Amino acid sequence: MTEPADAPVETLSFDAALAELQKTVGELESGGLPLERSIALYERGVVLHERCAALLAEAELTVQQLVQRAGGALEAIDVRPGEARETD
């Protein structure tokens, strides 16, 4: 399922945000755009980049929070950025 290009960035999945960011960069690189359109695309691109970075940080934190239990089993702990905890 793909989200529309004007969907609120905070609702986009990583894949959707990355795809839109790539499209935005391509459009900017093609050139020939009016200044106002270029600025609007650039601003949206910055927000899309921040969304991708935040989602990647969450994914990295989830991976880092895999805790090894006794016996070698792994347990995934659902933790949000800013809520990281120390592991033994």
State if pTM tops 0.75. no
Q: Domain extents for the chain?
A: 9-75
Name all contacts of 4-11 with Cβ < 8 Å and 24+ positions apart. Answer: 9/44, 9/47, 9/48, 9/51, 10/51
Assign 75 a pLDDT band (cuts: 50, 70, 90).
low
**pLDDT tens string 12-64:** 999 999 999 999 999 999 999 999 999 999 999 999 999 999 999 988 877 77
Per CATH, domain 9-75 is 1.10.1740: no
